[in-house]
Chains A and B, each alone.
Chain A
Amino acid sequence: MFNSRSLTILCGLVLAVCTAFLGVRLRAAGIDPTSVVMIVERDSNDIAFMDIKTNKIVGKVFLGNNVNPHMVMMSPDGRYVVTGGTRANKAYIIDVATLKLVKVIPVDIAPEHLSFSPDSRWYYQGNPQGDSIAVIDMQSLTKIKTITGLVEPLNVTFLPDGSKAYVGNYGAHWVGVIDVRRHELLKKIDVAQVPGVAKLDPAKYLGEIKGINYAAPTTDGKYLYAADSDLGVVGKIDTREDKVIKVIRVGPDPWRIYMSHDGKYAITPNNGDNTISIIDLQADKVAATLEAGPNMTGVNYAAGKAFVISSTSGFVYVYDMKTLRPAGRIKVGTNVQLETATTDIADEKLYLADSTENAVVIIDAKTQQMTKITEGIGQFPWGTHIMDSKDNYCH
């Protein structure tokens, strides 16, 4: 009586009626990827999911003994959460709908930081000790290529159109340009020249190299700013021509550069002299150099302020981004080690990993009051991540 065509038409009609009168909608199952903070728990080898509204752990995915995950990220389409297991030499893929580990992919040695292409198709897993990037296709959930020729690649930045990616090489002084279509290293952009007088200082220049951590994009993707730790400079790269158009001197040993959310300023925490350099991105010059703390691992922006994490001092230093002046500091604890933080989408709260206390510290950016969450937090939280946060980074 009913053929398949008629059945389809009838089902569609019923669906329309139900939707109109009952307000029934088909929903995807699982957590809301936009409402959780992901926490990398390095020594308990799992990824925890904390609800932003209730601050309760709503899910946890164990990866296996001795995995030691490093950085976690949600794919832009909200379907997968991925992390690299540094001591397992593998990439781990978690399904967000079921909060289950669904794939383990061998990559190169000691995977750490990672990045997604804007269309969620490619997951680039950096392997600093393997000097490579594993390219994982998120459609087939397989590694399709390993990009070699890099030198301790720490972070990858994709252009908004996804055509190219830029790699910060901590073991060198250049930023690598990758053709995302072919997943090949196209060129190397030297951020600055090593000064000739370097040959007089083999202890510094031959003992260890601290190059480029990250190439930070401007909001429109036209330029990148990359800090070189050994050279104490920030290079501005034009992504259309892939060349350095300006070199800005900052303080000694800048860890990396962090862009403010309004695109007006950027900050380099200079671990060589415990200062920060605030760069005016309109004028491309240092607008202020201010005292900070030792061993800085991150900068977050919220409520018109910058929050600089001083890992070993237990303090978060605060700066007013309107006046470019110090605005106090927040004492998180004594004998603690602070890691990195993420900022919520509303730019109101920071979620800071406090590894020695097995805690996540929530800092209200307006009041600078903090709340320590320990319930349900695993061992040695190393980092946090919120989908679409403008401050997602790792160290």
Chain B
Amino acid sequence: MDRFRVALGGVLLLLVSTAAAAQTTSVSGRVANTQGGVISNAAVTLRLLPPPGAPVMPRTPNMPTMPGMAGAERTTQASADGTFSFDQVAPGQYILQVDFDGFERSSQAITVANQPQTVAMSLQPLEIPGAEGVAAPAAGSVTDTQALVVRIKELEQRISDLESSTVLSEPETRVKRIEVYVDPNGNEHDQPVAGAKKTVTYRRERVYRRQTINEKIEEALADAENRNVKLGVSATLATQAARRTQGPHGDADGHAYQLSSADLFFTAGLAQYTMFFADVVGLSGAPPDTEIPSITLLNSYTARLVHQNELNLREAWLRTEVFSQRLSLIAGRVDLTNYFDRNAVANDETTQFISDALVNNPMLGLAVNGTGVVGVIDPKNGFNFKVGFQQSSANPTNLSESAYTLGEVGYVMTPFSLPEGNYRVWYRHDNSDHRQRSGAGISIDQKLTPVFTLAARYGQADALPGRDHFYSTGFQIANGAVVSPLDTWGAGYSQTELAAGRKEKLAEGYYNFHLSERLRLSFHLQHVIDTNAPGTFGYLLPGVRLQASF
């Protein structure tokens, strides 16, 4: 059947070519170099162009190219005097191209009508610096003088290129880590050899690559930066005022407070996938927590305050990644709240809420940083698992004192066609206060739209007697409904219920202005109500926080 169809096509083509044969003409010409010298025996191709607007079909080795079809080619060889000719050329649009070793292809579009056409084709030398075995133009076809003139012009062009782009042309060398095979005699082979063992070694290789002077300098600076210890600074000024809203007049009523904090942190790469981090912090000032005895801290920075105007080592740890970087291990002086119970909306006291109840879950129970170790398994498939151990005592006498152990499972979901949400469940066990205690909690943040993210936390912990409970919820607005594109704002509410009967309700709203990459300014309004305490009270605390980081 296929052969029948092709035969039918051939017959039809025969009819077409019969008709076309009555209207053909010829295309001829002469091939020369740019100085007019003859080029003999060049390959000349005449190709029929598709009509304008026709779909482009890629030419493949299996594609039939019958005469008269778009893309059909005819090739001939120019004679010794450089002339060529194509007969029986049907009218149409064609590409005429000429090829000869050592010269660039000459190509031009021609329109063939009913009249014979003569085309002059001119070839320019093709120079490939560094190429081996490039054939010189055939002897006798170009005179020596003409070749010299062409060469001088090319050299002048190259000098001009070099002057304009200021490049460095020396070969560059770089060191590569390679695998080789070493036999029992210590001889090194590039390929496997009987008795040879595969080993890793390092070798320099040379490359012919041009770089501009700017690129060289940038590369050197980046390389130097990678080897250095990196230093960062973060400073925060938080000013708050207190106005009593419930209960009799108290010490804090009408007072203003300020706490300043400066963090200096260092990071350094020590080995493959291994880094060192240290954070030194100094605080000074009077936070509202010194006068308002709420259950949770009204300024989360207060947790870092050990002694005024003193530098304290907040964190110092080593981190390494093993098993194809699926497992991260961190050991040293750690802050487990950096790894557990995280939340996209309520986790960062520098840019989000300032109330500690909306930054951390108090049921975690971690009062201060301490010696510890954390393992994080994150195969980047949405699940992650964390286990951590930390001592949380200001003045420990041994490692087993006030020891906290935490475990957490986290999962990334996109439920009900919503954007991403993070769901975490944690459990902790500790021996603080000379007894075994446990706690558990969840932390959720779920984007409802690209602009609006909802968050929630719950936690409970052993108390004496009964259990303490904690609830919080909040939201954050980002990427929309803001003054400046990178601003964020949010609101949150938390409720802490101690087994002893004391309760705290806290609400906070904030707006964070992103003034520059390094400077943020935020306004806060908190309201806290502490009930069932000796002297039930409520306070309204407006505040301003300025945060800079380098």
Contact B3–A329 (Cβ < 8 Å) = no
Query: Within the complex, which residue of B13, B87, B207, B479 is in contact with A380, where a contact is CB–CB below 8 Å?
Result: B207
Q: Which residue of B lies closest to A290 (CB)?
A: B420
Q: How far is the CB of A326 from chain B (nearest CB, A)?
A: 5
Contact A328–B380 (Cβ < 8 Å) = yes
Contact B129–A9 (Cβ < 8 Å) = no
- Which segment, of A171-179, A196-204, A214-222, A237-245, faces chain B? A196-204
List residues of B (478-516) whose CB comes within 8 Å of A's CBs.
479-480, 484-486, 514-516
- Which segment, of B17-25, B238-246, B307-315, B365-373, faces chain A? B17-25
Known: A27-B63, A93-B105. 10 other contacts (CB 8 A): A32-B62, A68-B209, A87-B211, A101-B128, A103-B105, A109-B164, A118-B56, A139-B109, A285-B449, A325-B420
- Which segment, of A12-20, A147-155, A182-190, A254-262, faces chain B? A12-20
A174 to B17, CA, bound (A): 53
How would residues 17 to 53 of chain B score, 1 for a CB under 8 Å from any chain A CB and 0 otherwise?
A: 1100110000000000000000000000000010000
Contact A323–B414 (Cβ < 8 Å) = yes
A21 to B325, CA, bound (A): 64
Contact B516–A204 (Cβ < 8 Å) = yes
Known: A66-B209, A104-B126. A204 touches B517 (CB 8 A): yes
Q: How far is the CB of A55 from chain B (nearest CB, A)?
A: 18
Interface presence of B11 (CB below 8 A): yes
- Which segment, of A75-83, A263-271, A296-304, A346-354, faces chain B? A75-83
Q: Which residue of A lies closest to B172 (CB)?
A: A43
Query: Within the complex, which residue of B210, B450, B518 is in contact with A68, where a contact is CB–CB below 8 Å?
Result: B210
Residues of B within 8 A of A248 (CB): 450
Query: Within the complex, which residue of B22, B129, B519 is in contact with A66, where a contact is CB–CB below 8 Å?
Result: B129
Query: Within the complex, which residue of A12, A25, A196 is in contact with B64, where a contact is CB–CB below 8 Å?
Result: A25
Residues of B within 8 A of A120 (CB): 56
Contact B61–A31 (Cβ < 8 Å) = yes
Residues of B within 8 A of A4 (CB): 21, 87-88
Contact B208–A45 (Cβ < 8 Å) = yes
Contact B208–A43 (Cβ < 8 Å) = yes
18 A/B residue pairs, CB under 8 Å, sorted by A: A15-B13, A23-B3, A26-B65, A27-B63, A28-B63, A28-B65, A33-B58, A33-B60, A34-B58, A62-B128, A64-B130, A109-B165, A139-B109, A195-B486, A286-B479, A290-B420, A325-B413, A327-B382
Residues of B within 8 A of A109 (CB): 164-165
List residues of A (99-127) whose CB comes within 8 Å of B's CBs.
100-104, 106, 109-110, 118-120
Interface presence of A58 (CB below 8 A): no
Residues of B within 8 A of A327 (CB): 381-382
Contact A9–B449 (Cβ < 8 Å) = no
Query: Within the complex, which residue of B17, B131, B420 is in contact with A289, where a contact is CB–CB below 8 Å?
Result: B420
Contact B480–A20 (Cβ < 8 Å) = no
How would residues 32 to 59 of chain A score, 1 for a CB under 8 Å from any chain B CB and 0 otherwise?
A: 1110000000111100000000000000
Interface presence of A371 (CB below 8 A): no
Known: A20-B4, A65-B129, A200-B516. A78 touches B157 (CB 8 A): no
A63 to B130, CA, bound (A): 9
Contact A27–B64 (Cβ < 8 Å) = yes
Interface footprint category on A: 35 or more
Interface presence of B59 (CB below 8 A): yes
Q: Which residue of A lies closest to B419 (CB)?
A: A288
Residues of B within 8 A of A43 (CB): 172, 207-209
Interface presence of A379 (CB below 8 A): yes
Residues of A within 8 A of B419 (CB): 286-289
What is the interface of chain B, defined by CB distance below 8 A to chain A?
3-4, 6-7, 9-11, 13-14, 17-18, 21-22, 49, 56-66, 71, 73, 87-88, 95, 99, 104-109, 126-131, 157, 161, 164-165, 167, 169, 172, 176-177, 205, 207-211, 272, 324-325, 379-382, 412-414, 419-420, 447, 449-450, 479-480, 484-486, 514-519
Interface presence of A367 (CB below 8 A): no
Q: Which residue of B lies closest to A285 (CB)?
A: B450
Q: How far is the CB of A125 from chain B (nearest CB, A)?
A: 16
A143 to B62, CA, bound (A): 32
Q: Most chain-A CB neighbours within 10 Å: which of B3, B56, B177, B514?
A: B56
A286 to B417, CA, bound (A): 12
A19 to B2, CA, bound (A): 10
5 tightest A-B contacts by CB?
A16-B10, A78-B58, A20-B7, A87-B210, A65-B130
List residues of A (61-101) whose CB comes within 8 Å of B's CBs.
62-66, 68, 76-79, 87-89, 93, 95-98, 100-101
A104 to B519, CA, bound (A): 51
Residues of B within 8 A of A290 (CB): 412, 420
How would residues 327 to 368 of chain A score, 1 for a CB under 8 Å from any chain B CB and 0 otherwise?
A: 111010011000000000000000000001000000000000
Known: A101-B126, A232-B485. A15 touches B324 (CB 8 A): no
Contact A331–B325 (Cβ < 8 Å) = yes
Residues of A within 8 A of B9 (CB): 16, 19
Interface presence of A225 (CB below 8 A): no
Residues of A within 8 A of B106 (CB): 141
Residues of A within 8 A of B109 (CB): 139-140
Interface presence of A246 (CB below 8 A): no
Residues of B within 8 A of A12 (CB): 10, 13-14, 17-18
A93 to B73, CA, bound (A): 20
A76 to B60, CA, bound (A): 12
A207 to B37, CA, bound (A): 55
Interface presence of A394 (CB below 8 A): no
Q: How far is the CB of B133 from chain A (nearest CB, A)?
A: 10
Contact B18–A288 (Cβ < 8 Å) = no
Known: A65-B208, A95-B105. A77 touches B59 (CB 8 A): yes
Q: How far is the CB of B344 from chain A (nearest CB, A)?
A: 10
A356 to B11, CA, bound (A): 58
Residues of B within 8 A of A87 (CB): 165, 167, 209-211
Q: How far is the CB of A318 from chain B (nearest CB, A)?
A: 8
Interface presence of A249 (CB below 8 A): yes
Contact A119–B56 (Cβ < 8 Å) = yes
Q: How far is the CB of B213 from chain A (nearest CB, A)?
A: 13
Query: Within the complex, which residue of A30, A76, A89, A106 is in contact with B61, where a contact is CB–CB below 8 Å?
Result: A30
A247 to B517, CA, bound (A): 22
Q: Which residue of B lies closest to A388 (CB)?
A: B58
Contact A5–B21 (Cβ < 8 Å) = yes
Residues of B within 8 A of A44 (CB): 207-208
Interface presence of A370 (CB below 8 A): no
Residues of A within 8 A of B73 (CB): 28
Interface presence of A373 (CB below 8 A): no
Contact A8–B17 (Cβ < 8 Å) = yes
Residues of A within 8 A of B205 (CB): 379
A329 to B10, CA, bound (A): 55
Q: Most chain-A CB neighbours within 10 Å: which of B73, B324, B450, B484?
A: B450
Contact A356–B176 (Cβ < 8 Å) = yes
Contact A329–B380 (Cβ < 8 Å) = yes
Residues of A within 8 A of B518 (CB): 201, 203
Q: Most chain-A CB neighbours within 10 Å: which of B58, B65, B177?
A: B58
